[in-house]
Structure 1
Amino acid sequence: MRKQLLILSVLLISMTVFGQKNELKTAEKAIKANNFSAAMQAINQAEGMIANADQKTKAKFYYLKGKALYQNGANSADLEKVGAAFNQLIDYEKETNKLKYSNEAAKIINDLINKLAASASTDYNTALSTKNSEDYEKAAKEFNTVFMLSPRDTSYLDNAGLVYFLAKDYDNSIKSYNKLLDLNYTGVATVYAATNKDDGKEITYNDKKSRDLQVKLGLAENPRTIQKESRRESVYKYLAQNYAAKGMNDKALEILTEGRKEFPKSYSLLIDEANIYYSKGDEAKFKEKLEEAIEMNPTEPTLYYNVGVMNMNQGKTDEAIENFKKAIELKPDYADAYNNIGAAIIDKTKPIIEEMNKSLSDFDKYDKLQAKQLAIYKEALPYYEKAYEYNKTSISTVQTLMGLYENLDMTEKSKELHAVYDKLKQ
């Protein structure tokens, strides 16, 4: 009984090997005849039997599969599948140390990469001009396909993530950036470049030796080595912005927290974190993060300005004015900061006006309160005048300044601003 089973087993293996080789011959003939659908049909038939094949047969299978998918470079070819098949072949032959088909496969992949990368760059530049989501989407898909063709070139996946984001395709952008984090991508790289003597365009090379040879042959000039800095911080930044764009603020904060653990001195990630707290309506946390940012970057006027706004919202008028003045100290033409100092000063008239409304029949008290009110208006006036000096197109500033002139009986100045106001309304 055992002999019979053994004989049967040997017979089955022989039939499997025969079937594999038969299907591969069919696929090879179909490829030569440009009948790629028939080639793929034969490849699919052989695929189920390939696991136990010998090295030579397996390598040929991977090669023919790549060729059938490639379709001699036809537009209908699925380039991601082409890349997967040929990369599987290259990895397998490298593993077995028998390189029969790898050079041809690598050449096909490199040609596809160069063509597609150039097309992606052109489409991206077009998108920058048109600002059209569809143009961005096209470029992003091409960058992503280049990465699929050459998974070692992670910078193309980084490009895809960014351009998907610009296309507002947040799901694919998130997918790209999460993949980069999974791959521990940094973007740090040494780029070897030179200038093409024929057209003056920059060429990049895989290694220094290739570049130097081109220069030696007189085909290129001006050789240079470019050190690319880490892009990992930006991966966290854009991943968080994608989640925020989808309204997933808590997830965005989770990503930023993770990013700040890795980059604790990142001003950019801190500001993004602050902005998300603001989007969530958490003004206390927003202010806390801004104050942390001031410690990190004490010469940025907008930080003091925004803390001033938060202080105003919390009724801390004097603190707000101090922040706005600090912003002006750093940026003397900061029109909004001047405007807000004026507004903070005028805010002090609220209790006076309330008391005036209660004292309509007590003329002496009313006159004294009104005098205090006008004194505050005089204090606020120069700040609004400065705000108008640096921004003559703000209707709200013009309206407030016009009202101050009227209350302070500055008739001529009020008339001048009325003319400005009428033009701005048009």
Structure 2
Amino acid sequence: MKKQIIIALTFSICAFSFAQKKELKTAEKAIKGNNFAEAKAALKQAEALMSSMDDKLKAQYYYLNAETLYANGAGSIKDIDAALESLNKVQGSLDSEVTTLKQTMVNGILTKGNSYYEKKDFSTSSKYFEKAYRLSPRDTTFLYYAAATAVNVQEYDRALGLYEELKALGYTGIEKQYYATDVSKNEEEIFANKDIRDMSVKTKTHTNPGQRLSESKKPEIAKNVALIYVSQGKDDEALKAMKDARAESPTDINLILSEANIYYKLGNIEQFKTLLEEATKMDPNNPELQYNLGVISAESGHAKEARAYYQKCIELNPNYINAYINLAALILSKEEPLIKEMNGLGNSKKDDLRYEELKTQRQELYKDAIPFLTKALEIDAKNISAAKTLMNIYNIVGETAKFKEMKVKVDALEAAE
């Protein structure tokens, strides 16, 4: 009786083994014929028998399952994730097959990622670049591409995670570049490798070959991490990241300005101004920097300093309209204390003399402001703020003809709004 039971069980095990192999062979054949729906069905049948599979059959199942999910590149991002998970379960055999499939997947994923990038679908492109890295972790450049393209579409949380991963890996992005000058364009061209560069030189389409190391990507990564924190309103993290970024790239003026903006946001105007001055020393011919220093100096009550900055801005860019308007505003800001004192005077002869002195000073302020407002209108004829201010000045100083002319202009501008 016991012998019959043993024989029956042996027959049962053989039947299971045969069924497993049959389903796996069916799946393998379907994959070769690009019939992935049939392959999925066969693998589903095989999965039901998983508990009785030996390690070799399990490895084959997971490998075929990965092939089916990838579907020669037709699989979705979700399918690729599942395929990668399945490949990671292949143990004990099929090492060369797994390596080959992974490389095929990497190539296909990169092709798709580049395709989406060219279509400016940076979000999808970024996800494909990340998948390429997950399949081939030694190729850290793919992770860098994933982070950079995520930034393009303001997927900051995801980009931040990828950048932090790059920092933990010590990624620099430094690589050897092979270059030569394109004879037809007289421009330097960087080649994918030395062999292609050498062939181009040999065929005389290029000259002056050379090689060098590319610049490190660490400053850019540190900067982007800091700017992401800024955009998220995480000021403390932003300042810490900015410190790291500036340590990597101390002469990057954009980093200095970004750090300055954080301090301005935090209300630390002195530090903001200090950093602006530092940036101005590095780039003394930047009108934007001169203008911003003028604004800060004016707000902090340093009118003489502010005027010098605005005038330097105009010297660098004669069409910088806001500098003209702010210069006029700076001059006219001196009017208020004059009016206050004039209104507080009495009727004595001494008061009358003082009143006339103040009136003359006020007139001089207007005359000083007029050229700047006039220039602002020359640059932007539709600047209603400058036009209204000029109209009021002409009215006060008694230049009736110019007042009427400017009133017509103001009325036209208001009607057009």
TM-score scaled by structure 2?
0.75
Question: Are 2:128 and 1:147 aligned?
Answer: no
Task: Answer with 27-36 or 318-327: which moved more.
Answer: 27-36
What letter is aligned with 2:364? A
Q: Confirm or deny: 8 A CA contact 2:116 2:122 kept in the other structure.
A: no
Q: Partners of 1:44 and 1:205 in 2: how far apart?
A: 52
Q: Which residue number corresponds to residue 30 of structure 1? A: 27
Aligned equivalent of 2:115, options 112, 119, 123: 119
Give aligned-pair identity as a percent.
33
What is the SS of the residue equivalent to 2:333? helix
Q: Confirm or deny: 8 A CA contact 1:123 1:138 kept in the other structure.
A: no
Aligned residue runs from structure 1 range 373-388, under 5 A: 373-388=362-377
Q: Which residue number corresponds to residue 80 of structure 1? A: 81
Q: Partners of 2:403 and 2:369 in 1: how far apart?
A: 16
Q: Confirm or deny: 8 A CA contact 2:373 2:386 kept in the other structure.
A: yes
Q: Partners of 1:298 and 1:340 in 2: how far apart?
A: 20
Offset at residue 49 of structure 1 (A): 9.3
What letter is aligned with 2:115? S
Q: Partners of 2:156 and 2:368 in 1: how far apart?
A: 50
Question: Are 2:354 and 1:369 aligned?
Answer: no
Question: Are 2:279 and 1:293 aligned?
Answer: yes
Aligned equivalent of 1:391, options 380, 396, 402: 380
Question: Are 2:83 and 1:104 aligned?
Answer: no
Offset at residue 104 of structure 1 (A): 3.3
Aligned equivalent of 1:411, options 375, 395, 400: 400
Q: Partners of 2:299 and 2:226 in 1: how far apart?
A: 27
Number of aligned residue pairs: give it: 380
Q: Partners of 1:105 and 1:70 in 2: how far apart?
A: 10
Q: Partners of 1:172 and 1:48 in 2: how far apart?
A: 41
Q: Confirm or deny: 8 A CA contact 1:39 1:68 kept in the other structure.
A: no
Q: Confirm or deny: 8 A CA contact 1:398 1:421 kept in the other structure.
A: yes
Offset at residue 255 of structure 1 (A): 0.9
What letter is aligned with 1:417? M
Looking at CA atoms only, which structure, 1 or 2, has the larger radius of gyration? 2
Which whole-Å deviations, capped at 9, do the CAs of 1:127-168 have from their partners, x for residues lacking one? xxxxxxxx5433333333343344344344333333333323
Q: Which residue number corresponds to residue 39 of structure 1? A: 43
What is the SS of the residue equivalent to 1:100? helix
Q: Confirm or deny: 8 A CA contact 1:186 1:232 kept in the other structure.
A: yes
Q: Confirm or deny: 8 A CA contact 1:27 1:40 kept in the other structure.
A: no
Q: Partners of 1:405 and 1:332 in 2: how far apart?
A: 25
Taking a change above 3 Å as real, the CA distance of residues 270 and 41 of structure 1, as seen in their structure-2 partners, is farther
Taking a change above 3 Å as real, the CA distance of residues 234 and 20 of structure 1, as seen in their structure-2 partners, is farther
Taking a change above 3 Å as real, the CA distance of residues 204 and 302 of structure 1, as seen in their structure-2 partners, is closer
What letter is aligned with 1:423? A
Aligned residue runs from structure 1 range 1-16, under 5 A: none
Q: Partners of 1:120 and 1:191 in 2: how far apart?
A: 26
Taking a change above 3 Å as real, the CA distance of residues 358 and 309 of structure 1, as seen in their structure-2 partners, is same
Taking a change above 3 Å as real, the CA distance of residues 63 and 246 of structure 1, as seen in their structure-2 partners, is same
Q: Confirm or deny: 8 A CA contact 2:27 2:64 kept in the other structure.
A: no
Offset at residue 360 of structure 1 (A): 6.3
Q: Which residue number corresponds to residue 66 of structure 1? A: 66
Aligned equivalent of 1:164, options 140, 143, 150: 150
What letter is aligned with 1:123? K
What letter is aligned with 2:311? K
What letter is aligned with 2:96? K
Aligned residue runs from structure 1 range 18-417, under 5 A: 27=24, 29-33=26-30, 34=36, 35-36=39-40, 39=43, 63-76=63-76, 78-83=79-84, 100-101=96-97, 104-124=100-120, 135-190=121-176, 207-209=193-195, 228-359=214-345, 361=347, 362-417=351-406
Q: Confirm or deny: 8 A CA contact 2:110 2:128 kept in the other structure.
A: no
Taking a change above 3 Å as real, the CA distance of residues 354 and 110 of structure 1, as seen in their structure-2 partners, is same
Q: Confirm or deny: 8 A CA contact 1:24 1:43 kept in the other structure.
A: no
What letter is aligned with 2:79? D
Offset at residue 395 of structure 1 (A): 2.1
Task: Answer with 204-213 or 296-305: which moved more.
Answer: 204-213
Taking a change above 3 Å as real, the CA distance of residues 40 and 412 of structure 1, as seen in their structure-2 partners, is farther
Q: Partners of 2:340 and 2:380 in 1: how far apart?
A: 32
Alignment RMSD: 4.1
Q: Partners of 1:222 and 1:21 in 2: how far apart?
A: 63
What letter is aligned with 2:105? I
Q: Confirm or deny: 8 A CA contact 2:133 2:139 kept in the other structure.
A: yes
Q: Partners of 2:42 and 2:190 in 1: how far apart?
A: 40
What letter is aligned with 2:377? Y
